[in-house]
Amino acid sequence: MKIVIDDKIPFLEGILENYFEVVYKPGKFICRTDLQDADALLVRTRTQCNGLLLNGTPVKCIATATIGHDHIDAAYCKKAGIKWSNAPGCNAWAVQQYVIASILEMAQKYSMSLNNLTLGIVGAGHVGSKIAETALALGLNVLVNDPPRALKEGGDFVSLETIQAESDFISFHVPLTLEGDYKTIQMVDDHFFARLKKMPIIINSSRGEVMSGDALKRALISRVIRGAVVDVWENEPTVDVELLRMVDIATPHIAGYSVEGKAKGTAYAVQALSRHFGLGIDNWYPSSVPSPRNSIIEPKNNVPHKTILEAVRSTYRVMIDDNGLRSNPRNFEKLRTDYNFRNEFSSFQVDGSNLDAKLVKRFQKVGFIVTGY
Ligand SMILES: NC(=O)c1ccc[n+]([C@@H]2O[C@H](COP(=O)([O-])OP(=O)(O)OC[C@H]3O[C@@H](n4cnc5c(N)ncnc54)[C@H](O)[C@@H]3O)[C@@H](O)[C@H]2O)c1
Ligand SMILES: O=C(O)[C@H](O)[C@H](O)COP(=O)(O)O
């Protein structure tokens, strides 16, 4: 059997070679000729898996080592009898880290106290629900909009209008969908911004095409919003430099780039291939996943948001990623390729010996391990 694999998927070398003839190639350049005698394809978001790529090839199974699967033409695959899988939730904690770090940076920049501010979350799946829980622990009010879940589950969901009217931050965690009752393509447009009431900060780490960059620029110019955090862009890897200069935090689609998230993404993809081809490695996981060089955090004080911001910064400095893209927006894809995957909060231990009980709880809710309290 033969498999073609995106050559930027970590933790994989030597694994599938035991079962397949393996060809590694940059995801963007995988083409139909590469697949003439291939049975399977293992990709990231950089390979468009559609009829153009797959028609007339023997590929019968595609695994993507990512949460998002908008690069896979599901309708085509169904028609062509190609099975595909993604890696649900693999890097959700990495995006939680990115969004929480960004909210704390924004609160500091604009001198906002998080207590009693409202975070509106649009899309409450693996990522959105983790952020909701952390935000509550940080003292924010949380409103959640997720019409597909609301229809299935009922419960405490609000309308998009409520999010627009009451939020000080709005963070998007929807998949990119092009059609249907809940389609998300360009869901954030001039009409969306016109309904905002509280000059919120907008955060997009979902997909660039969910939001109109031009509408976002108009909203920033007219001060309908206070600011914006943008990790995903329309037309990646090209970045609208005018927009980049206007937003508060601009990063090159790295919200999900944690060591743990990458390890899980690879593992879920290998496991899916194993199930499909009967490889017998259904529980495979990378044998060694790097830990942080210094995993102990010793908080200096008991002032909640200050000490949590310091701890968060010691795991991840989102402003360094911002600076990287700002200094060289044309390097978008290279910044991603060369990215030094960070560790998630759960790989760090906070020394709780001088923390009050409430702060211990908060650190735990953010995702840290707290010891010695
Ligand atoms: N920037 C990054 O590095 C990065 C990393 C991971 C995921 N993502 C993106 O984030 C998205 C969300 O990830 P996830 O793991 O939480 O996905 P998920 O599938 O677990 O959750 C998505 C949620 O959005 C809801 N939803 C769908 N359409 C909606 C609509 N119109 N309005 C409101 N809610 C809607 C769904 O019901 C679901 O609960 C992914 O699809 C991916 O595109 C980006
Ligand atoms: O959908 C996802 O999982 C994320 O957007 C992911 O971080 C994209 O990762 P890449 O395709 O660069 O590996």
Per-residue pLDDT of the chain (373 residues; tens, 9 = 90+): 999 999 999 999 999 999 999 999 999 999 999 999 999 999 999 999 999 999 999 999 999 999 999 999 999 999 999 999 999 999 999 999 999 999 999 999 999 999 989 999 999 999 999 999 999 999 999 999 999 999 999 989 999 999 999 999 999 999 999 999 999 999 999 999 999 999 999 999 999 999 999 999 999 999 999 999 999 999 999 999 999 999 999 999 999 999 999 999 999 999 999 999 999 999 999 999 999 999 999 998 888 889 999 999 999 999 999 999 999 999 999 999 999 999 999 999 999 999 999 999 999 999 999 999 9
154 and 213 share one domain: yes
Same domain, 212 and 348: no
| Residue 205, CA atoms < 13 Å, CB-side half-sphere | 30
Beta carbons within 8 Å of 294's beta carbon, 6+ residues apart: none
Same domain, 105 and 204: yes
Q: What is the DSSP letter of 32?
A: G
Q: Give this prediction's pTM.
A: 0.98
* CB-CB contact of 163 with 142 (8 Å): no
Is residue 69 domain-shared with residue 96, that is, in the same domain? no
Return the amino acid letter for 313: R
Taking the CA of residue 70 as reference, the ligand 1 atom at the shortest distance is: 43
Q: Is residue 68 part of a domain?
A: yes
CA nearest neighbour of 165 among 146, 145, 149: 145
In a shared domain, residues 165 and 184? yes
- The number of distinct structural domains making up the chain is 3
Q: At what angle do helices 92-109 and 259-277 cross, to 10 degrees?
A: 160
User: Does residue 289 lie in a domain region?
Assistant: no
Spatial separation of the C-alpha atoms in residues 338 and 328, rounded to whole Å? 14
Answer yes or no: are the C-beta atoms of 22 and 16 closer than 8 Å.
yes
Q: Which helix (H) or strand (E) holds 201?
A: strand 201-204
User: Among residues 175, 356, 341, 347, which one has the least CA distance to residue 259?
Assistant: 341
- Closest Cα to residue 163, out of 224, 120, 216? 120
Residues with CB under 6 A from ligand 1: 67-68, 89, 91-92, 95, 122-128, 145-149, 173-176, 182, 184, 205-207, 231-232, 253, 255-256
Residues of the domain holding 335? 296-371
Q: Which of 47, 69, 86, 91 for a ligand 2 pocket mutation test, highest count of atoms within 8 Å of Cβ?
A: 91
| Residue 253 designated active-site | yes
